[in-house]
Structure 1
Amino acid sequence: MRPRVTMVLAIVAVLIGGVMLVPTAYAKLSGGHALPSIGGIGGGVEQVPAPTPTAPPPPTLAAGPVSVNFQGKFFSWALMDRKTGKISGAPNMTSTNSTESMIKAWIVSDYLHQLGDKQPSATRKKQADTAIRDSNDISAEALYNAGGRKPVLERLIKTCGLTDTKIEPTRAKWAYTQMSPRDAVRMGDCIGDGRAAGPRWTKWVLNEMANVRGSVKDQKSDAVQGGRWGIIDGLPDSIKSQQQVSIKNGFTMLWADGQWHVNCLAVTDDWTLAVMMRYPGSGNTKVPSYGAKVCASVATQLVTPQPGAALKVPQQPVGKL
């Protein structure tokens, strides 16, 4: 019996050794890296996957020092981190400026929200489109009237939790509404998160704002005013290519004070930025080119690379007036 037992045990040992060697040899032939078997006989062979490269995160905007060689009556800015709700900005970010066309994004949003489940007529839909994309004053006024005029602004203050905004007292003109940069970024956040236009129309409004058209020099009439300038020009392609940047600017040269009133607003998923200012103007000057450069410069200075992100931002020099 002993020779037979010895022979059986030898056969078993050979079979076990073959089972353990085959996966290892296969792993080597297939280009994988075999790890030692774990757990004794039958533990198997683990394959180590090659690491998957990940793209570095894009840069973003974050609070930081801003230096502008500004010579005018008023200059301020505010930035909201939309993930935390924290607002940072200039020491005077609670001071106000007339909103001008910047507020048209709210007027359109409010009108669409008030419709509820109703669809706007083709005329109203066109007015909403041109009020934002072309900064059409006539369209904005029509929607403002349709919304009840002053109640439109009262809903803005209540819905968006504004604390510094004041309605123009005589006829509640939308352009003369006084708003701070701090409240402007709150309004931007309100438009971005759906409180302004409601779930049905928020994406549509943000898309309209992302597709405003015309340069700072394209001020043709009350119906066609170029609006693609300012903050958007100060952002690197690494931000603009990664997320939608929705903007709405506003400006006028008020004869009453002889000042350009210029405002810039931008909204993304991560942040909202507002820059507001007043500086000396002239009746012969038809474009707020200096103010556009100031808005771009502020945006550029706030661009911050996330860990591992490459940073290349456009240069936006701002000279004296």
Structure 2
Amino acid sequence: MNRRTVALCLLASGLLAATVVGVTTDGGAVARSGDRVPAVSSTGPLNAVKPVDCRTTTRGDAALAQEVAAAITEVAPGTRVGLAVHDRLTNTTITSLNADEPFYTASVVKLLIAIAVLHEANWQVPEGQDRADLAAMLSGSSDPVASALWGAHGATDINHEVSALLGLGGTSPPSQPGQWEMTRMSPRDVVRVYEFIDTEMPGPARDFVVGALADATRVAIDGFDQYFGIPDALPGAEKAVKQGWMHIRNGLVLNTTGMIGAEGRYVVALLTEGPAASTFDPATTALTRGVAVLAPTLTGPEG
């Protein structure tokens, strides 16, 4: 997948302006190293250059979001749905629903963990086993790796400090520091994370992260089929995804997120929480049907 450059974001913003104005673990794993790694800082090399702001500028088609939610709840009644679909070429929201409300992330928080690890390393991708572990956390959704890195890189400090680095407004840490999967994020914040990774993260780190997400395995390391939602609904599309799934005390969390299309034009964040009686089947089917509603928009001639 070719990466969109910062210049493209600036060009897209300029064109728009010209138009308008003229499965879960309990976390807490001990890091493999006996030394505590400093928490990610909001100061660093990125602050020397003003980040490109490719965030949402307009609210899109509310009816489309309602169609997505209806497709999901028809199969999985009682599911709460959060959605943000962003077109990075035009810098607009295609559609959204509950886009600023918090949802449990489950494994989607592994994107924040990866950012923390790479930022602390001055955006240098590790080598050897550390590189393999980081890739396994992103491609195969490895919980043991996530727990180790979470503990080694500051636990809930990751939530606070990566939020400050990226300007996230709807992200909050888990109430129990070891439970990384209980982080909450808004769909709009998830979109912002993908934009940061693909347009503001230095090249080698960006290529590593996006490449790992593009290589997401059908079967995760815990044995779960993680091709629900975006992968199964858009089988022929170019994509880089991070999925999330877990049972919680009073329900079920299922999330499908990623960049879709040539140069990652579209970013989709579909986050859901089902009622206590929910099961992964048919909940995974429900999310796939929800994304299928978006398919004509994401893969049509104009895309």
Contact 2:84/2:269 (8 A) holds in 1: yes
Whole-angstrom CA distance in 2 between matches of 1:98 and 1:210: 23
The one of 210, 235, 245 aligned to 2:239: 245
The one of 252, 255, 268 aligned to 1:263: 255
Displacement of 1:287: 7.9
Larger Cα-atom Rg: 1
Unpaired runs of at least 5, structure 2: 1-58
Q: Which amino acid aligns with 1:247?
A: V
> Helix, strand or coil for the counterpart of 2:151?
helix
Whole-angstrom CA distance in 1 between matches of 2:215 and 2:179: 26
Q: Which residue in 2 is equivalent to 1:302? A: 297
TM-score (norm 1): 0.64
Whole-angstrom CA distance in 1 between matches of 2:290 and 2:254: 9
Contact 1:136/1:225 (8 A) holds in 2: no
Kindly report which structure 2 residues correspond to 1:62-211, keeping only aligned pairs within 5 A, or say none.
Answer: 64=61, 65-66=64-65, 67=67, 68-69=70-71, 70=73, 71-116=77-122, 120-171=126-177, 173-195=179-201, 198-211=202-215
Change (3 A) 1:109 1:78: same
Contact 1:74/1:278 (8 A) holds in 2: yes
Whole-angstrom CA distance in 1 between matches of 2:274 and 2:123: 44
Contact 2:84/2:97 (8 A) holds in 1: no
Whole-angstrom CA distance in 1 between matches of 2:285 and 2:81: 12
Displacement of 1:74: 0.7
Change (3 A) 1:201 1:230: same
Displacement of 1:146: 2.4
Q: Which amino acid aligns with 1:104?
A: K
Whole-angstrom CA distance in 1 between matches of 2:146 and 2:99: 27
RMSD over equivalenced CA pairs, Å:
2.8
Whole-angstrom CA distance in 1 between matches of 2:280 and 2:235: 29
Q: Which amino acid aligns with 1:115?
A: A
Q: How many residues align?
A: 233
> Helix, strand or coil for the counterpart of 2:188?
helix
TM-score (norm 2): 0.68
Change (3 A) 1:80 1:187: same
Report % sequence identity.
20
> Helix, strand or coil for the counterpart of 1:162?
coil
Q: Which amino acid aligns with 1:248?
A: K
Contact 1:267/1:273 (8 A) holds in 2: yes
Structure showing greater relative contact order (alpha-carbon pairs closer than 8 Å, 6 or more residues apart): 2
Unpaired runs of at least 5, structure 1: 1-61, 310-321
